[in-house]
Amino acid sequence: MSSVLLPPAANDYRGPRLALWLFGAALFLKTLCSVNALVIGRVVAPVHGIPLATLAPDAGRVALGLLAIWALSQLLVALAGWTVLARYRAFLPTMLGFLLLDHLGRELVREVLPVDPARIPVSGLVNFAVLALVLIALPLSLRARVATAAEVATA
């Protein structure tokens, strides 16, 4: 059963190791934000631009529920990324592409359906940090790594 869920590892990644580290940093930030929004959503809601204090109680519960749903989906994306990092490194460029599309898609939705276009929530800063890491790691991951003398000797 485990071979169906997790096929044999594909760790034949040939890009620079820096791309792996940048990807890991982006995943760390994404995982941290997701877990925080799931566990202490009421505390981090204002960071995401959700003014719970000014909402009616029912509207606040709906906003917290939507924040939790979003956080769960982001956590699942991060878990897929951790799986790529741990076991399927050959898929690193693909996963970085998915993260880039995810971010650009959310930005497009934010432009089409702005909540408060006058201000960027504090969480946007973390999202831009993740975007910067992905934008640096993606082209790096597509380059072939220069083999070291030790790697050439063992090949």
* Domain boundaries defined on the chain: 21-36+69-144
Q: What is the pLDDT of residue 152?
A: 52
Q: What is the pLDDT of residue 79?
A: 97
Q: What is the pLDDT of residue 51?
A: 86
Amino acid letter, residue 151: E
Q: How far is CA 83 from CA 76, 78, 99, in A?
A: 11, 9, 14
Contact 75, 35 (CB under 8 A): yes
CA distance 108 to 140: 25
* Spans of the chain, pLDDT less than 50: none
Q: What is the pLDDT of residue 20?
A: 96
| Alpha-helix residue ranges (DSSP H) falling in 7-148 | 17-39, 41-44, 57-87, 92-112, 123-142
pTM: 0.83
Copy the structure tokens of residue 17.
């190791």
Copy the structure tokens of residue 104.
């650009």
**Tokens 């089409």 found at:** 112
Copy the structure tokens of residue 144.
């072939």
Indicate the SS3 state at residue 145.
coil
